[in-house]
Amino acid sequence: MSLTIYRSHRTHILYDPERLAQPDDPALPPPGPAWLEPTAWRERGLVTGSAPGRGESLFLDVAGQQWVVRPYRRGGMAAKVSRARYVWPGFERTRAFRELRLTHTLHEQGLPVPVPVAALVTRGGATYRGALITVRLPQTQALETRLGTASPALLVEVGRTIRRFHDAGLDHVDLNARNVLVSDTDKVWLIDFDRCRLRTDGPWRERNLARFKRSLERFAPDQAETFYRSLLDGYRNT
C-alpha cells in the first residue's frame, strides 16, 4: 500500500494506513510536537520500555501493536549547536521522510527491515524536528551483544544478508554491529537507514564492508578477523 500524508499546521506525518489508521486517533498524543516528547506517550500508558542511544527510543504498545519511536538527534560537533533541530529543507527532503520512504521501499522488496509505520516532522521557523516510528522486531538483539557467543554460521548469515541489501543497491552509511539485529532463531535484520540511499554499483560496497569490519574490531577485537572471514564467506558465496 502507498504511504499517506497527514497535515496539521506546521506538522506533517507520512504514514502507512495499514499500520496507523489516523494520526489524530485520540489514543495517541496529539499529532505534532507531542509525538517528540516521551512524557506525552507515557501519560497515555503506551510506553513499555526504552532503548539507550543518541536519543531515547521508546517501545510502545498501541492497540496491541508493538512500535518503536526514535527521535532524530545530532552527534559530534553539530550537537553543540543543536541536538534535535535541523535546517529546514522542505518536508520531502527531511531526514524522517527520506528514511521512511527508503525503509518502505526496502520492505516492499521483501528485504529484512523493520516495518515502517510513520515519520513525523514539525517545523519551527528555519528548522525542524523529527521522529520515526517502526514496528518493533520481536525477540531480537543487536549483533554487538551476540558477538561473545556468535558462531561462524551466524556471521555467514550476516554476510549473506548484507549482500542482499547491496544487490538491491543500498548504500548503508552506518553499517556496524549495532545496526544488525539477530533474532533468537538467528534471523538477521538491518536497521537505521538515516542518510542511506539506493545507488548503482560502485566502491561504496567496499566502504560499507570496511566500516563493518572496524565495528567488529571495536566490539570483539580478539575474534574480529575470524568473524570477518566468515562474513565474507557469506557475502561472496550468495
- Give the pLDDT score at 196: 98
pLDDT at residue 206, rounded to an integer: 98
Q: Which three cell numbers stand for residue 208?
A: 560499507
* Cα four-point dihedral sign 204, 209, 212, 213: negative
Give pLDDT, residue 78: 42
User: Closest by alpha carbon to 88, among 124, 118, 119?
Assistant: 124
**What pLDDT, on the 0 to 100 scale, is given for residue 44?**
97
At 184, the amino acid letter reads D
Among the listed residues 168, 115, 176, 122, the one whose alpha carbon sits nearest the alpha carbon of residue 145: 176
Predicted local distance difference test score (pLDDT) of residue 75: 58
Please report, for residues 97, 147, 169, the alpha-carbon distance to residue 152 in angstroms, rounded to integers and kept in the order given. Answer: 37, 10, 26
The tens digit of pLDDT for each residue in 57-91 reads 999 999 999 999 999 987 544 434 456 799 999 99
Domain boundaries, the chain: 4-135, 140-236
* Length of the chain as a residue count: 238
Domain 140-236 class in CATH: mainly alpha
Give the whole-angstrom CA distance, residue 94 versus residue 86: 9
Helices (H), 123-203: 143-146, 152-167
Q: Looking at the annotation, which residues are catalytic?
A: 174
**Mind giving me the DSSP string for 113-151?**
-PPEEEEEEEEETTEEEEEEEEEPPTTEEEHHHHTTT--
Q: What is the pLDDT of residue 80?
A: 43
d(CA 45, CA 32): 18
In whole angstroms, what is the distance from residue 27 CA to residue 146 CA? 36
> How many other C-beta atoms can be found within 10 angstroms of the C-beta atom of residue 232?
17
10-residue averages of pLDDT along the chain (238 residues): 91 96 94 95 96 77 96 63 81 97 98 98 96 96 96 97 98 97 97 97 98 98 97 95
pTM recorded for the entire structure: 0.94
Pairing of strands 86-87, 116-124: unpaired
